[in-house]
Structure 1
Amino acid sequence: MAQLTVKGKIIAEMPERSGTGKTGKEWRSKEYVVVEHGEYAKRVCVQVMNDKIDALGLSVGQEVEIQCDVDAREWNGKWFNSITCWKATITGVSQAPTSSPPQYAAAPPKQPTVSQNNQMFDDKDDLPF
């Protein structure tokens, strides 16, 4: 299996799903969307399974480093990727800024001076007809 490390901020948390597998074993699954930092930031949806959901304690707004396994499986002739988290380190919690940066009004357009106004209206030969 390929391993993947994702560093970024959790921006979304999907509702937990559960069910029973073919062998009768109960399972739980929860997905989180992590956005990487940088100019061309990518989003990755990672899946956390069973007891790891409670053990990792992930939530929206946390800065994390996640270790994942990447695998693909076939169903009805189509292939699907799964990115399953097996380890997560919370590196911080992103805080919203407490105050917004100061807003500056745009400078008013510069008004022509009286001499410029007179010059604009004194040239009567500029008419195209």
Structure 2
Amino acid sequence: MALEFEGNLIKVLPEVTGQGKNGVWVKQDFVLETEEQYPKKACFTAWGDKASDLKTYSLGEKLRISFSVESREYNERWYTDLKAYRIESASGASSSPAAASASQGFSAAPAPRTAPPVADLPSFSSDDQDLPF
């Protein structure tokens, strides 16, 4: 299952390198923010060549990320990584309906919202003394 996220590049965290049993590794975390009515932010990790690809983009640029989700446990706590395996510019690119449905709810297009009529909202008065605080 392919997951996609589209948003503006708002932060690039410092590059991290290390030595593993298979040689030197490089990772780069970065944050994207959607352009919805209520913007969402997500932090992704780019490994190896993808970390160097990230350097070709500038802050504020609109990107489309294809990623995988992986969780792991450590000391009875769970940690989740969003690993970017494709990073591409989304500026000027239109999203097809098939791509929007494949994004599993991570589409940058705002969902239509309908508010209930004011007459249907419950009324609260100062006479209600059953508040828990």
Q: Which of the five TM-score ranges fits, normalised by the shorter chain?
A: 0.5 to 0.7
Q: How big is the shift at 1:59? A: 3.0
Q: Which runs of 5+ in 2 are unaligned?
A: 93-133
Aligned-CA RMSD value: 1.8
- Give distance in 2, aligned partners of 1:46 and 1:4: 12
Q: 1:41 is paired with a residue of what secondary structure?
A: coil
Q: Paired residue for 1:17?
A: 16
Q: Paired residue for 2:121?
A: none
- Give distance in 2, aligned partners of 1:55 and 1:33: 15
Q: Under a length normalisation based on structure 2, what TM-score does the superposition of the two structures give?
A: 0.62
- Give distance in 2, aligned partners of 1:3 and 1:78: 26
Aligned-partner residue type, residue 63 of structure 2: V
Report which of the two has the higher share of strand.
Answer: 1
Q: How big is the shift at 1:92? A: 2.5
- Closer, same or farther in 2 for the Cα pair 1:81/1:3, shift >3 Å? farther
- Give distance in 1, aligned partners of 2:59 and 2:13: 10
Asked if the contact 2:50/2:87 (under 8 Å) is kept, the reply is no
Q: Paired residue for 2:28?
A: 30
Asked if the contact 1:3/1:70 (under 8 Å) is kept, the reply is no
Structure of larger gyration radius: 1
What is the total number of aligned residue pairs between the two structures?
A: 91
Q: How big is the shift at 1:41? A: 1.2
Of all paired residues, the percent bearing the same amino acid is 25
Moved over 2 A (4+): 55-59
Q: Which runs of 5+ in 1 are unaligned?
A: 94-129
Q: Paired residue for 1:76?
A: 75
Please give the residue correspondences for 1:109-120 in structure 2 after superposition, counting only pairs within 5 Å: none
Q: How big is the shift at 1:86? A: 0.3
- Give distance in 2, aligned partners of 1:58 and 1:68: 17
Asked if the contact 2:64/2:89 (under 8 Å) is kept, the reply is yes
Q: Paired residue for 2:37?
A: 39
